[in-house]
Amino acid sequence: MLQRRWFFPLLSSLGLAAPQARNPYAELGLRPVLNFQGPVTTVGASRMWPEIQSIMAEAAKDFAVLAEVKDAVGVRLAKLCGTEAALPTSGTAGAIALATYACLTGNDTAKVRRLPDLTGMKSEVLIQKPHRNGYDHAVRSAGVRIVETDSRDSFINALSPNVAMIYYLGGTRGDWAWETPVPLTDCLALARKAGIPVFVDAANLLPSWDNIPRLAATGVDLLAFSGGKHVRGPQSTGVLAGRKDLIDAAWLNSSPHSDSQGRGMKVNKEEMIGLLAALEKYSRLDFAALDREYARQAAYVMDELRKSKLHVEKSLFERGRRVHRVIVDWDESARALSSAEVLRRLLDGEPRIAALPGPGGRGLELTFLMNDPGEERIVARRLREIFA
């Protein structure tokens, strides 16, 4: 009681008293959007579970030794993934970069400091042609050359002592072999013989969660996925999981180590804790029930839009995971409405709605993956108004 009289005025004069609830978007003159694009970074990708928001707020109140938080969180992430070790990263892209640095430097701190100068290190990363994507820029940030192969023979020929790592894009169908000249099990066997670690970008494998432990069980050296997509943890987080020696090397190459190539890929303690909490929740979700819910949302919107005489169909894009996408199409000249105009009206309306153009820039594509029940009614109503 004694302290009350001076304590609270002191806290508030230092800016430490609990603030009133605010709407930060409104204060910036902004309106949030309903997201029918899926986990896409440009609209924020992840809506954190409410309990994760409060766990992070608690974690943000105290200081803690970052390496201890990393170790404790890492042990539990690894247990969930079914790997020897794991590291919270700045998204999958950060994990791709750190995996590459780790394979180049190992635990040699002189090499860590030297990157991206590759003196005394290997200088190539092997990627099969269908696995090339924009995110492999993170591989090149190590200073390495990407060797692209387009057949099993060229892959085998490229397995030289100068290859530091193989980047493998997950998210392909069933056995992860779709369109891939060297499917995963074959790739792992060949890489093991050549002594080259295999990294699998598993960002495309969620949902559902069991794809991750299943991938880990194949014996991949490293895998990574995003904490800020369907997992609904902090948007800028990810997980790098796999061999302990490589995970330790990845940590040496990242924040808080000042003189390291990955210093800019910082993950703070509350993000690490939020990521773990989100993944603990995510790994226990009923994915069959979630899938039924997304299917229901998609079916509702399709039924409604058919009433407006729009052509609707389910997208065939499915690969190793199930994502419910609806393609909406119409005769643009008869309706005097282009795809771009409809997208603009959705985004300018109330509430704002973010969707994507359909295949080939025609029509619309609506993804049902990040939506609360009820949002399907809003998007259907807005589209019916636009086409009325």
Ligand X SMILES: *Cc1c(COP(=O)(O)O)cnc(C)c1O
What residues make contact with ligand X under the rule CB under 6 A?
41, 91-93, 135, 201, 203-204, 226, 228, 238
Output the smallest distance, CB 135 to ligand X, in A.
4
Shorter beta-carbon distance to ligand X: residue 38 or 363 = 38
Whether residue 343 contacts residue 264, with contact meaning beta carbons closer than 8 Å, is answered with no
Shorter beta-carbon distance to ligand X: residue 197 or 228 = 228
Output the smallest distance, CB 95 to ligand X, in A.
7
Reported as half-sphere exposure (CB side, CA atoms, 13 A), residue 337 has a value of 19
Shorter beta-carbon distance to ligand X: residue 231 or 310 = 231
Output the smallest distance, CB 331 to ligand X, in A.
33
Shorter beta-carbon distance to ligand X: residue 78 or 169 = 169
Shorter beta-carbon distance to ligand X: residue 97 or 112 = 97
Shorter beta-carbon distance to ligand X: residue 97 or 115 = 97
How many whole angstroms separate alpha carbon 346 and alpha carbon 35?
11
Output the smallest distance, CB 356 to ligand X, in A.
15
Using CB atoms, what's the residue nearest to ligand X? 91
Output the smallest distance, CB 198 to ligand X, in A.
16
Output the smallest distance, CB 246 to ligand X, in A.
18
